[in-house]
Structure formats: C-alpha cells, structure tokens
Structure 1
Amino acid sequence: MVNRTGISRRALISGMATLAFMPSSLLAAGAHLNKGRSNIWLSAQGDKAKTYGIGLFFSDNANSLKIPSGFRGHGVSLHPLHNRVVMFARRPGTEAIEVDLESRDHRLAFVCKNNRHLFGHGSFSPDGKLLYTTEAEIDTGRGLIAIRDANSYELLAEISSHGIGPHELKLLNDGKTLVVANGGILTHPDSGRKKLNLDSMSSNLCYIDSYSGKRLALHRLTETKASIRHLDVADDDTVAFGMQFQREAAAHDSLVPLTATHRLGDPLRLLEAPAAIVMQLRDYIGSVAINNRSRVVGFTSPKGSIALFWNLNNGAFLGYHQLHDVCGIAVTEDQRYFALTSSNGQMRLLDAQTLKEDRAHRQHPDFRWDNHLLLTTG
C-alpha cells in the first residue's frame, strides 16, 4: 500500500507513466554528459565530524574540492538529465546534500520527515522526475521507500520496502520496477548503530512495482544471518548483490558466500570463490559494480582489503585485487575500467577485460574516500 503525503495516486502515476517509454540508454548514469571532459570521482569524505563532506576529484587534477556537509555521507546518486548529484546521510542520518557539478554550488536537498531516517542510498527515476530513498519508520522499524520530487525534493509518497533495514535500491531497465536490498537488521537512533534483532533478523531481495508499491517477488537466502546490503543492476536486469554475515549471531563457524546474482523468475545464484579468498573477506562486502561491456561484476571488502571479480554470465571467479581498506568501486563511463578507492586516499583503475591495473593512472590525493564511489564527467 502507498502511504500518501499530499499528492493523489493519479498525479503520482501520471508523473511516473513516461518511465516505461524512456530509451534504455538514459538509464546509464552520465549518458547525458559530453565526451572529452574531465572524469570526476565523487564520494563521501572525512573521518571525523569536522571533516565530513563530499569530495570531487577531477582526473585532470584541477579544481578538485571537498564540500562540507555537516553529516557523514554514504551513497551518491547522479541525476540522469542534469549535471548534479545528491549525497545521502549514513544511517541513522536524516539529511541529503545536492551539488551542482558545473557551478559547484551546493545546498541542503532535504531532511526526512519526523519519525524517519535514511539508510544512505537513493536512486533517480530515468526521466529525472522522481527520487527514491530507503528509509525507516523509527518507532516501528518498518522499512520504507520514500518517493520525492527530484527537483524540489518534496515528499510525494511512501511505499513499503517489504522488509526491515532497506539499504541500497535501484530501478530495473523498465524504469518502473525497484529492486531493494532489505538487510533485515533492526536498529534505532537512540541505540546508535547497535543491531537489535540478530536472533530474529530476516533479510531479503525484493522487487517492487514503484507505481503501486506492490511486491512482485521476494527472495531470501538459506543462510538466515547473511544481511543483503548492496546491489547493482546490469543492462539485462541481472542483479548482483553483496552481503554482510552476522557471525556473532550464527550457530555455526562455516564460511559463508557473500556474493550472488539474480534475475526475476530465476533462483538466487551464489558466486563461489576459493575458501582462502572468502575467509579474507571477514564476512563483509562493502560495494558492488557491474561492467556491462565486459560482463564482469566487482565487489569490494574493506575489512579484507580486497576487490573480487566474477563473470556475470557463467558465475566464474576471475580474480582479485588487493588494496588497503578498499570499498569504493565504480565503472568508467566508457566501460573500459573498474575504478577503486580506499579510505587512505588511493585511487586505482583496473582494465575491465584483463583486471590488470593501469598503473599510469594510479593517484593518491589528499582525500579520505568513504564507502561508495560515483564516476561521471564534467
């Protein structure tokens, strides 16, 4: 059921209806931007309150800057039609900041309504009219997806995420179907980031009709203590997702696969890797990115200081790259490279076909890259 906040169902659906007719090319972040301009690396920044913000690093090494936010950020989303981004506060924050990549102007985009907090992720509709964010109803813990006007950031509606602790969400290529990683872990701002329901946690991967809020499909893992957190969507709607295993609540000490893929109508497919590699992950996947040209998916584990790669078509493990505290991963606009960032400022590019590092592009600016990375041009 859709929870209305001052807009009729007819008006909301009218605003959404054009999505199904949008060309798929518009679904690719940055498709509207001109070629030949500087690559921009964007991420939440800082390791203490006074340094929190969003960092913009330009590949020509000119005019890079850090914009203070006043809160610790998490994910960053690019508007599909305009050269601006929104960074969302890390759980249990309530704010988001907008940055114009041309003028460098920034403003507070929105603050959650009362009794709500963010989970650090959001996604724009491909026509640029709507912004979806994962949120929680604080007093009940119920997972929600807030739907906002993508220009004014007015809250238009809320729909259920069909789980607890919704984290990353994205739209499939029809521009209508949302896929959401419901982590299953209950938290409350009064308890900080403490996990309150590990004994009864229930994570799922859920597909939702964004027009109506109807649940289209819901999948759970056999391992009940694996929390699905991050995901990406390929151009054929294959979803790759990563998990964080809550070992302190588990009744066994076995290694648990933390990476998987899925397509609507099919069963979940766990991605296998050598046991020594899985052990190095330390039960934690931090981010995921799909390269559509090479059909390779990459995952990062900051706790394991490693990025791992699989063939998206057959699930074959392809290799790994070690980098201290690596978490950010993204794909360059031309699909030639995977980009990696770490908390100590390192930036690396890996060839998307061979997975070998292009060391000529290695950089180490004075940045403290946080969990997630966005690449665009400007």
Structure 2
Amino acid sequence: MNVNEMRWRRRHWLAALTALLGSPVSAVQPAPARRIDQDRLALSWVDSAGHWLGVLRLAPGGPRLDARLAIPTRAHALRVLPDGSLLAVARRPGDWLLHWTPSGQVLRWGWIEPDRVYNGHVLVSPDGRTLYTTETDFQSGAGLVGLRDTRTLQKRDEWRTHGIDPHALIRDADGQLLVANGGIATRPETGRLKLDLERMDSSLVRLAPDDGALLGQWRLDDRRLSLRHLALAADGTVGIALQAEHDEAERKQTAPVLAVFDGRQLRTAVPPAGLSLQGYGGDIASTGDGFFAVSCTRAHCVSLWHADGRYAGQWPLDEACALAPGRRGNVRAGGRTAGFELSAPPGEPAPQRLPLPTGARPDNHWTRL
C-alpha cells in the first residue's frame, strides 16, 4: 500500500468516526485549562478494538483511565502544551498530528501536506506559539523540520535537517535545536521498509531556532548506528538512544544503545563486556539527577547510565519501551502489558507496578502531566 492509499483510508476512517459521533470532531471547543497533576500519564496503546490515546491517573486508591480517544493509526510521540492540552503525532510514515485535551476532546487534526510525511515527533517552542515537526519530503527523501502554528497546525515554514530520516528533536542547554537524523532511507511505495542500509548516514545536527541555520553536525564512527531519541540531562549533556542496523547478528546484539553528546563531541557509551542489550534503544529519559534510562526493547530491560556514559545497572521489563521521568528522580517505564515506577539507581525500594488499561499494549512513548 502506498502513502496516498494509506492517507485515503485514514481519512475514510475519520469520516466514519465523525458520522458515528454525529458531529464534526473538529468543531469541539477547547476545555477550560486546569492545573496539571503530576500523577497522570498521557499514553497511546493498541488493543483488540484498535488504536487509542488516553490519560491514566495514578491515584492513591488505584489507577484509573481519565480519558480514551480512538485514533486511526498508531501514535508515536506525545507532548504537553503550556495550557495543559496535548499533541500526538502518528508513527512514521505518518499523515496526522492531533491536538487534544486530557479529558479526551479533539481540538483539531493537522493533516500533512500531500508530498510530506510526519516522522513521529514534535517540539513546542518556549512561548507555545510554534510547533517543530520532523518530516520527510517523500519525493526527494530529504529530512525537514516543519514550523507550524500551534492554534491551526498549519505550516508556516520548513527547514532542512541536512540528512535523511529525522526523528526526535529537542532544545539543548543553550536553546538551540538538536535533531537526530536516523539516516535510513525509505520510499513512499514501501512504507517503513528500510533500504540501502550500506549507505546509512545518521547524524546529530544543531540548528538555530530562529532561522534553521546549520550550527554543527556530528556523526558516530560506526555508520550502522541510527540516532533516534534524545534526552537532556541536568548538566546539559544530551543522551541519544541508538538502534543498530548491522547485517551481522552478533554485531547487532553487542552494539551500544546509548550515545552521549557534551556539546562538542559525540561518542557511544560502551556496555560492560559480556552484556548484550540487543542493539536496540526504544526510548530514553533523563532522571534529572545525573542518569539516563534507555529502554532496551529486545533485551527486555531498562538500562541505566551515568550522564557521562558509564553503565549503572538495569531493571527487567518485558518489551520495555515507553519512558518518562517520575517523581524524586525515578523513571516510569511501560512494557508489553505492564508499567512500573523504577528507582534510580536500581535497588530499594522495589519497582512499583503501574497497571495499564486491560488488554492494552503501550506504544513507544508516554509523557507525564
């Protein structure tokens, strides 16, 4: 199925949902802003009934689902806006961006332009007026950052990322934009199929936030390591979750899952001898007190690292992926069917279980409200 066919089906799904609800979802008005509660998680998941967004409240009497909202395809990243509303982006190659509220109201959909695809991530400007979305021009394959109006989700401008397959983006300690170019070629007619891996070109780029000027670009020595997700430590160090694309199974199994960037140098964090993390970092979070947590989905654990790249331990978790900073420096992690609040570093107290909606399988990311 090509990209245009996927878009037609998704829009058909949205039209059917609108008819079922009896009113246009785009006509829903924003709910009054309310104080954000730090004991809630916004997440996306899939179950036997389809794909969902929702908010899970971690109340003392037990968790409950505050809201649930059907979506046409898998979501990827979620972001919180200054007024407490939320953004969700479709998994790449995606065609929708959704502005919604923690009560489950749809505010507006932002469908991608005909010759572009969303790459799953969005960043909010400090003043809340501009959204930066990572995108691909599927005719040329060039990576882009789209600049969109927060109120309308319409594109105002776009900048080159000086690479292909841009994924996560953050602001660094100096307020500049950092973008992870994953470096993996795809084509619209083959969707997520990875192509030409022998010519991978993954890089970390720094862009000026006012005009997109290229301020720096860094690559790892091992060109088969794809830079995917980013987190900022309290000391300004950036952690990057890696995904290995080597042809040889042994190299992939022993490949690093973390790189660290100190503003000048990009280098890998080497796992201890004999430790296999299967070369796949699904997500990354900074604990706020000097550690990076990296979910190792294929190794079924969450690994913990000092901000300088030294290994600090791990917690077992089946198909670990979604991560978010918890309270008091802990990490909230979601796996195949369960979530946990993990102490950092690993040790006492024991992980606290965070029950998920019945039958739910969390997607790649969640975020604390």
Q: Deviations over 1:111-150 (max 9, x none)?
A: 1111000111111011111110100000110000001111
What is the rounded CA distance, in whole Å, between the counterparts of 2:320 and 2:185 in structure 1?
27
Q: CA deviation at 1:66?
A: 2.3
Q: How does 1:281-296 map to 2 (within 5 A)?
A: 281-292=277-288, 294-296=289-291
Q: Do residues 67 (structure 1) and 49 (structure 2) align?
A: no
Q: CA deviation at 1:108?
A: 3.7
Match of 2:9 in 1: none
Q: CA deviation at 1:33?
A: 7.8
- For structure 1, the residue ranges without an aligned partner over 5 or more in a row are 1-31
Q: CA deviation at 1:316?
A: 2.1
Q: CA deviation at 1:104?
A: 2.8
What is the rounded CA distance, in whole Å, between the counterparts of 2:351 and 2:281 in structure 1?
25
Q: Deviations over 1:196-243 (max 9, x none)?
A: 221211000111112121111111010011111111122443110011
Percent identity of paired positions between Structure 1 and Structure 2: 27
Q: For the structure 1 residues 191 and 67, does the alpha-carbon distance in structure 2 shift closer, same or farther, using more than 3 Å as the test?
A: same
Match of 1:338 in 2: 331
**Amino acid corresponding to residue 46 of structure 1 in structure 2:** V
Match of 2:17 in 1: none
Match of 1:373 in 2: 366
What is the rounded CA distance, in whole Å, between the counterparts of 2:252 and 2:173 in structure 1?
39
Match of 1:134 in 2: 134
Q: Is the 8 A contact 1:335 1:352 kept in 2?
A: no
**Amino acid corresponding to residue 215 of structure 2 in structure 1:** L
Which secondary structure does the structure 1 equivalent of 2:54 belong to?
strand
Q: How does 1:10-49 map to 2 (within 5 A)?
A: 34=35, 37=37, 39-46=39-46
Q: Is the 8 A contact 2:343 2:351 kept in 1?
A: no
**Amino acid corresponding to residue 168 of structure 1 in structure 2:** A
Match of 1:159 in 2: 159
The alignment of Structure 1 onto Structure 2 pairs a total of residues equal to: 333
Q: Do residues 320 (structure 1) and 318 (structure 2) align?
A: no
What is the rounded CA distance, in whole Å, between the counterparts of 2:199 and 2:339 in structure 1?
39
Q: Deviations over 1:19-63 (max 9, x none)?
A: xxxxxxxxxxxxx9857x461112221157x51121321112244
Match of 1:10 in 2: none
Please provide the CA RMSD for this pair.
2.3
**Amino acid corresponding to residue 284 of structure 1 in structure 2:** Y
Q: Deviations over 1:53-81 (max 9, x none)?
A: 213211122443321011211111111x1
Which secondary structure does the structure 2 equivalent of 1:180 belong to?
strand
Match of 1:143 in 2: 143
TM-score for the superposition, normalised by structure 2: 0.84
What is the rounded CA distance, in whole Å, between the counterparts of 1:342 and 1:253 in structure 2?
22
Q: CA deviation at 1:355?
A: 4.9
- For structure 2, the residue ranges without an aligned partner over 5 or more in a row are 1-32
Q: For the structure 1 residues 222 and 98, does the alpha-carbon distance in structure 2 shift closer, same or farther, using more than 3 Å as the test?
A: same
Q: Is the 8 A contact 1:247 1:283 kept in 2?
A: no
Match of 1:21 in 2: none
Which secondary structure does the structure 2 equivalent of 1:141 belong to?
coil
**Amino acid corresponding to residue 99 of structure 1 in structure 2:** W
What is the rounded CA distance, in whole Å, between the counterparts of 1:309 and 1:360 in structure 2?
17
What is the rounded CA distance, in whole Å, between the counterparts of 1:375 and 1:56 in structure 2?
9
Q: For the structure 1 residues 357 and 76, does the alpha-carbon distance in structure 2 shift closer, same or farther, using more than 3 Å as the test?
A: farther
What is the rounded CA distance, in whole Å, between the counterparts of 1:284 and 1:317 in structure 2?
16
Q: Do residues 238 (structure 1) and 237 (structure 2) align?
A: yes
Q: Is the 8 A contact 2:87 2:100 kept in 1?
A: yes
What is the rounded CA distance, in whole Å, between the counterparts of 1:286 and 1:33 in structure 2?
32
Q: CA deviation at 1:362?
A: 4.1
What is the rounded CA distance, in whole Å, between the counterparts of 1:206 and 1:310 in structure 2?
23
Alignment partner of 1:352 out of 333, 344, 347: 344
**Amino acid corresponding to residue 337 of structure 1 in structure 2:** N
Q: Taking CA–CA contacts closer than 8 Å with sequence separation of 6 or more, which of the two structures ends up with the larger relative contact order?
A: 1
What is the rounded CA distance, in whole Å, between the counterparts of 2:319 and 2:154 in structure 1?
37
Which secondary structure does the structure 2 equivalent of 1:190 belong to?
helix
What is the rounded CA distance, in whole Å, between the counterparts of 2:260 and 2:353 in structure 1?
30
Q: For the structure 1 residues 74 and 115, does the alpha-carbon distance in structure 2 shift closer, same or farther, using more than 3 Å as the test?
A: same
Which secondary structure does the structure 1 equivalent of 2:152 belong to?
coil
What is the rounded CA distance, in whole Å, between the counterparts of 2:257 and 2:38 in structure 1?
35
Q: Is the 8 A contact 2:202 2:219 kept in 1?
A: yes
**Amino acid corresponding to residue 315 of structure 1 in structure 2:** G
Q: Deviations over 1:334-378 (max 9, x none)?
A: 44320010132x1101123555454454434423211112111xx
**Amino acid corresponding to residue 125 of structure 2 in structure 1:** S
Q: Which moved more, 1:132-141 or 1:148-157?
A: 148-157
Q: For the structure 1 residues 260 and 68, does the alpha-carbon distance in structure 2 shift closer, same or farther, using more than 3 Å as the test?
A: same
Q: Is the 8 A contact 1:309 1:319 kept in 2?
A: yes
What is the rounded CA distance, in whole Å, between the counterparts of 1:128 and 1:55 in structure 2?
22
Q: Is the 8 A contact 2:88 2:98 kept in 1?
A: yes
Q: For the structure 1 residues 98 and 169, does the alpha-carbon distance in structure 2 shift closer, same or farther, using more than 3 Å as the test?
A: same
What is the rounded CA distance, in whole Å, between the counterparts of 1:34 and 1:261 in structure 2?
35
